[in-house]
Structure 1
Amino acid sequence: MYNYKFNNIFKILDSKELENFWIQYFIKDKKNRIMDLTEDGKKIGILPHYVVFQKNLQKKKNEIKLPVIKLPNDKSRHTFFEIVIILKGKGVHYIDNKAYPIEKGNIFFISDAKFHKYDNVPKRLEIINICFLPEVLLRDKGDKMIDPKVIMSFSLLEPFFRADNEFNDKLRIKGNQFKYFLNIVFLMIDYFNSEENSIDKRKMLSVYLNLLLKTIINEYKKTIVQSTKDYYLINSVSDYIEKHISERMKWDEFSTALGMSKEYFFIKFKKNTGISCIDYVNEKRIEYACYLIKNTRENISAIAYETGFGSLANFNMVFKKHLGVSPRSYRTGVEQS
C-alpha cells in the first residue's frame, strides 16, 4: 500500500554533498563533544537527512556511491533534539549508559540532555536523522519560534523526556505502519531538499514533524503498560531477571507466585511488551554481557555462564543474533575504539 520510492532529490549520490550539508547546518565542538546548529540550521529548525555509517570507506568496484561518514568512536551530545530511524544494519546504540541492540524499524529519541554513540557496526548502518529544535512545534503568527520552556510539557515531546520504567528511548514499528511512517519521512526530506526556501516551507516541515510525532505517540500508547497491575507485572519480571540473571529462570514458580499459570503469564507479558518473555530475558542478558565485555577482562566463556546462557555455543548464537557480531569481535571493536 505504501511504496514510496527515493527520488533524485532525496537520494544524494555524492558524499561531498553530504559533507556540504553538515558544514552548512552543523557546528561540532570537539573539545566538549557537543554539536550545535549554524545560523542557517537554527533558522529552519528542522533538518531531516539520510546518513550511511561505515568503518571502511573504500569504494568497491561497481558499488553505488552513497553519502558516508566515519563511525564516531566517542559519545556526543547536541543542542537539538534528534529522531533516529534505522533503515538497515545492526550494531549497538548507546544512549547515556544504556545499550540498545539495533535493527531495522527501530526509532530512537535523543534529547539535548543525552549523550549517544553507535558501536560495533559490523559493515554498514543506514539511518535517517531528523534533527529539530523543539521550539518549531509552536510558532507565532510572525513565524517566530516560541521559547522552548513554554512547551517542555508538550505531549508530543514526551518520548524525549520520560525516564521511568514504562518508557524507553527506543520504539520499534513493524509492517505497514513502518512503511507509512517512512512515507512521511521521505516526503519530509524531499520537501526539505526542494529549492523553495520560505516561511511556507518551514511551516510545512513543522506539519510533517507534528505528524511524525503524533504517529510515534500513537504507537507508544500501544506499548505502554496502562494499568497498575500490568506495570507491577513487568516490574516484577525485571526485578526477578536482575536477581537471577546467571541462573535458569523458574517461570512455573514465578507465575504461581503471581497467581497465574505459566501459559497465561507468557501471553500477558507478550501482550504488554510486544516481545516474548524469553526474548526479553535474552535482551537483558545481552545488555549485561556487553557491560562485562566492555568493563572487565573476564574471558568470553566465563561471561557466557555468568549471564545465564548455559553454554558458550548458545551465548555466541544469541549474541550474534542480537548484535550481528560474535562476543569476541565485539570485544575487539571495544578495544580498538
Structure 2
Amino acid sequence: MEFIFDKIHVPIDTSFITKKLPLLSNERIHLHKNFELNYINSGIGRRIVGDNISSFEKGDLVLLGPNLPHCWELLDIDKNEEPSCIVTHFSEGIIDSDFFKMPELEMVVELLKQASRGIRFKIKDDTEIKDVLTILSKSKGLEYYIGLLDLFNNLIKVEDFELLSSPIISSTAFSKNVEKMNKVYEYVFQNIQEGIKLEEASAILNMSNGSFCRFFKKKTGITFMDYVRNIRIGIATKLLAETDKQITEICYESGYNNLPNFNHYFKISIGKTPSDYRKDFR
C-alpha cells in the first residue's frame, strides 16, 4: 500500500475546482491540503478514510477535511457503465475568509470543521446533489461561486450522516510530521493481518516504545493500539457485511489470533457481536 502527499492546485482565478473524472482502481492512500467532496457517479469498491475502512457504491458522497489520509479502491467493474466520480477541491483557508465569517454561513463553517474526520452523507435521493455537482463541473465565473453556495446549502440540509474516522488528525501537526506518520500508516496497513508489534512500529521512527507512543497520541489524539484496533474492526465489519466467510476466518483475516478476543473487542467497538452485526445485512 503506497502513501502519497498530493498537491492539489486550485487555479488562482477561481476558489475551487469541480471535475468529473474516471474512477480508477487505486491502492494509493494519499492526502492533500485542500478540502475534497467526492461523489461516486458509478462504480463500487472500498473506501479508506483515516482509520475507517468501508465500502462505497453509486451515490456515495463524502466530504474530507485537509490532510486526512484517504483512498477509493475500485473492487468491481461494470462493463455496461464506466466507473466515474465528481470531485470538488476547495482551499483549506476558506473557513478563515471574510466572506465565510457571515452569520448566515455559520452552519457551513461548522460542517467544514467536522470534515476533519470525513463525513459520509446518507442521501436516499441524490438527484438534486448530482445535478448541482454536474452543473458545477461545467460552470464558470460568478455562476461557479453561486453553485458552490448551492452545494453547501444542500449539504447542511442532510440530517443523516456519519463521521468516518476517529479524531486522529490534527491538520497542522500532521502536516509537519506527514512523512513520519505515513511510515507508520504504511506499516499498519501492510501488516494488519500478520500482526502489529509496537517494537517494530517504534523502530520505523527510530524511537523507544515510550517516545513513539507519546508521539503518536500527541499527533492523532488516540493511542497507537487503539488506532490498530479501529483498523481491524473496520476490516471485520466489511467482511461480515459483504462476504459469507466464517466468523472464525474473519477473525484471523482482521488480525486477531483468537475468537474470544475478537468477539470482545468487536462488541466494545460496534455494540453487538459479530454474528448479530452480520444479521443486519441478511
TM over 0.5: no
Normalising by structure 2, we get a TM-score of 0.44
Structure number with the bigger relative contact order (C-alpha 8 A, sep ≥ 6) is: 2
